[in-house]
């Protein structure tokens, strides 16, 4: 932020007033960069965009209190209390749910009050979400049904790439379990089988589960991620340990387990099984609806393995992908746990297994970037003698087990004759 020539002295001074407004405006603009482009006003039931939020904020008591705080400002940088006030004002709640047959989309509610719409099931769910969010003290709410312009390919792709971060930055995620009544338990809900709900479970720090009628599941808590009973139930139904459920770190750690979690989920659109994992792995792949699901999964796994230090994601049994024979045709093949090798306790066997993994790396990336249509993992291995890799790894690299050999080996093409 540019330094001003003089320090404002009074809120009644036009120079001071202009300076503080500019300061607040800069903080607001910076804050709005990290939140979705459309939010619902839980009080009015109207869908709002960035311009509407700014206008709404300038009419609020919070804004006028900040203007009156100008005499207390003794620095040219944004004071922390301005940032706190602005970020608190624009806190939003996210909805996690299962899509049903009739869901109100952006163009169904734009310019209308959702509380006045016909009471079809999707609208009733949206109304219940906004009312419940308001009752918890939040002004803004976001739903993936009506807060994304799906007719805009640019906005849709940006939403898919940003969704994990939107859930992570939300003040609260409300999970609506439409198939859970008073006597049901969590593991009977189909919500846990939807592909997008995996990241919606892992990303938020604060989460509450609600039954069909929007009554709170297990009353007496403000955050189910801090409730040991609920966390235990979530562990049982998802197979995900509590550490990941409460403090999930996005990235490549334990990638094979993350693929196993996803393997038990299903999607309305086949490509979503891969797109819904971009946030979980903190990577980006092209969003191209209409390409084959094997190609979409292939793009995802290529990105994952290029950043990994081991080859466990190549540990699967079943039909190979048409994208690449090292990859499975479907993520469902990751449901089986990685193979257990009892001989790995032996140091000599460990070295052999390590060398096998390094060969897998070489063969995968060699065939990926210098491939032949008939190449497979095993034909690539046969092309290069095993002792060649063993000697090269130990004498030339000094790399520890499971480090990505492809990162430091020269380009290996099918035309190289090392036999």
The model's pLDDT over 190-248, given as tens digits with 9 standing for 90+, comes to 999 998 999 999 999 999 999 999 999 988 789 999 999 999 999 999 999 999 999 99
Domain that holds residue 364: 342-407
Compute the distance between CA of residue 47 and CA of residue 113 in angstroms, rounded to an integer: 8
pLDDT score at 73: 53
Whole-model pTM above 0.85?
no
More confident position, 77 or 90: 90
Last residue of a domain, one of 311, 334, 357: 334
Query: Which residue's entry shows tokens 């049901």?
Result: 184
Residue 59 falls inside a structural domain: yes
Q: Are residues 137 and 263 in the same domain?
A: no
Q: Do 330 and 346 reside in the same domain of the chain?
A: no
Please report whether residue 356 resides in a domain. Answer: yes
Looking at the fold, whether 70 and 142 belong to one and the same domain comes out as yes
The reported pLDDT for the residue numbered 404 is 40
- Both 270 and 135 in one domain: the answer is no
For residue 71, what pLDDT is reported? 60
> What CA–CA distance (Å, rounded) separates 366 from 382?
13
- Asked if the structure places residue 141 within a domain, the reply is yes
> Which residue blocks in 239-346 are alpha helix, DSSP H?
242-246, 255-263, 272-275, 278-281, 293-305
Taking only the tens place, the pLDDT of each residue in 38-47 is 999 999 999 9
Pair (98, 174) in one structural domain: yes
Same domain, 167 and 214: yes
185: in domain: yes
Q: Mean pLDDT throughout 24-39?
A: 93
DSSP helix/strand/coil, 289:
strand
Q: 226, 246, 266: which is the final residue of a domain?
A: 246
| Local structure of 134: helix, strand or coil | helix
Domains: count for the chain: 3
Q: Measuring CA to CA, how many Å separate 396 from each of 66, 114, 146, 409, 419?
A: 64, 67, 57, 10, 19
Q: Do residues 94 and 172 both lie within one domain?
A: yes
Residues 237 and 136 in one domain: yes
Longest dimension (CA), the chain: 85
- What three-state secondary structure class fits 253? coil
How confident is the model over 290-301, as a mean pLDDT?
A: 92
Q: Judge whether 265 lies within some domain.
A: yes
Q: Is the CB of residue 323 less than 8 Å from the CB of residue 294? A: yes
Torsion of Cα atoms, 290 then 291 then 296 then 299, to 10°: -130
Average pLDDT score, the chain: 79
The DSSP element (H or E) to which 95 belongs, if any, is strand 92-96
The pLDDT confidence band at residue 20, using thresholds 50, 70 and 90, is: confident
pLDDT confidence band for 13 (50 / 70 / 90): low
Same domain, 73 and 194: yes
Q: Which pLDDT does position 72 carry in this prediction? A: 55
Residue 220 lies in a domain: yes
167 and 201 together in one domain: yes
Query: Residue 306: which pLDDT band, with cuts at 50, 70 and 90?
Result: confident
Residue-wise pLDDT tens digits, 373-394 = 344 443 333 333 333 333 333 3
Which of the listed residues 246, 279, 294 is the one where a domain comes to its end? 246
Residue 205 lies in a domain: yes
Residues 121 and 220 in one domain: yes
The pLDDT tens digits for 166-206 are 999 999 999 999 999 887 788 889 999 998 999 999 999 99
Q: Are strands 47-48 and 39-41 parallel, antiparallel or unpaired?
A: antiparallel
Domain assignment of residue 6, yes or no: no
3-class SS at 92?
strand
The CA distance from 330 to 21, in Å, is 54
Tell me the residue length of the chain. 419
Both 329 and 346 in one domain: the answer is no
């Amino acid at each position: 932020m540019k330094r001003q020539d003089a320090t404002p002295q009074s809120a009644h001074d036009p120079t001071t007033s202009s300076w503080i407004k500019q300061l607040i405006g800069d903080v607001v603009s910076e804050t709005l960069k990290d939140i979705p482009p459309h939010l619902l006003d839980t009080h009015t039931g109207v869908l709002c965009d960035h311009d509407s939020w700014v206008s709404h904020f300038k009419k609020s008591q919070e804004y006028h209190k900040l203007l009156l705080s100008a005499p207390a400002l003794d620095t040219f940088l944004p004071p922390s209390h301005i940032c706190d006030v602005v970020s608190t004002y624009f806190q939003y709640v996210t909805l996690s749910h299962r899509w049903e047959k009739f869901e109100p989309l952006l163009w169904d509610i734009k310019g209308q009050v959702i509380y006045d719409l016909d009471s079809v099931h999707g609208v009733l769910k949206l109304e219940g979400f906004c009312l419940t969010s308001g009752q918890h003290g939040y002004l803004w709410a976001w739903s993936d049904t009506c807060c994304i312009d799906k007719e805009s390919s640019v906005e849709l792709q940006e939403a898919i790439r940003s969704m994990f971060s939107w859930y992570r930055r939300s003040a609260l995620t409300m999970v609506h379990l439409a198939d859970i009544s008073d006597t049901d338990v969590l593991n009977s809900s189909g919500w846990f089988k939807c592909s997008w709900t995996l990241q919606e479970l892992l990303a938020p720090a604060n989460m509450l589960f609600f039954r069909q009628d929007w009554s709170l599941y297990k009353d007496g808590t403000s955050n189910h991620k801090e409730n040991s009973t609920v966390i235990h139930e979530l562990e049982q139904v998802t197979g995900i340990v509590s550490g990941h459920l409460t403090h999930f770190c996005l990235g490549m750690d334990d990638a094979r387990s993350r693929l196993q979690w996803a393997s038990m989920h299903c999607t309305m659109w086949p490509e979503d099984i891969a797109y819904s994992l971009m946030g979980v792995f903190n990577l980006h792949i092209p969003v191209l609806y209409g390409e084959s699901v094997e190609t979409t999964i292939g793009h995802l796994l290529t990105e994952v393995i290029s950043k990994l230090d081991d080859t466990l994601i190549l540990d699967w049994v079943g039909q190979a992908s048409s994208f690449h024979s090292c990859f499975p045709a479907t993520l469902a093949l990751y449901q089986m746990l990685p193979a257990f090798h009892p001989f790995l306790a032996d140091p000599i066997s460990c070295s052999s297994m390590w060398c096998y993994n390094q060969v897998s790396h070489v063969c995968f990336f060699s065939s990926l970037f210098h491939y032949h249509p008939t190449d497979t993992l095993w034909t690539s291995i046969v092309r290069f003698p095993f002792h060649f890799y063993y000697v090269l790894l130990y004498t030339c690299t000094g790399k520890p087990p499971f480090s990505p050999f492809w990162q430091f080996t020269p380009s290996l093409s099918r035309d190289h004759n090392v036999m």
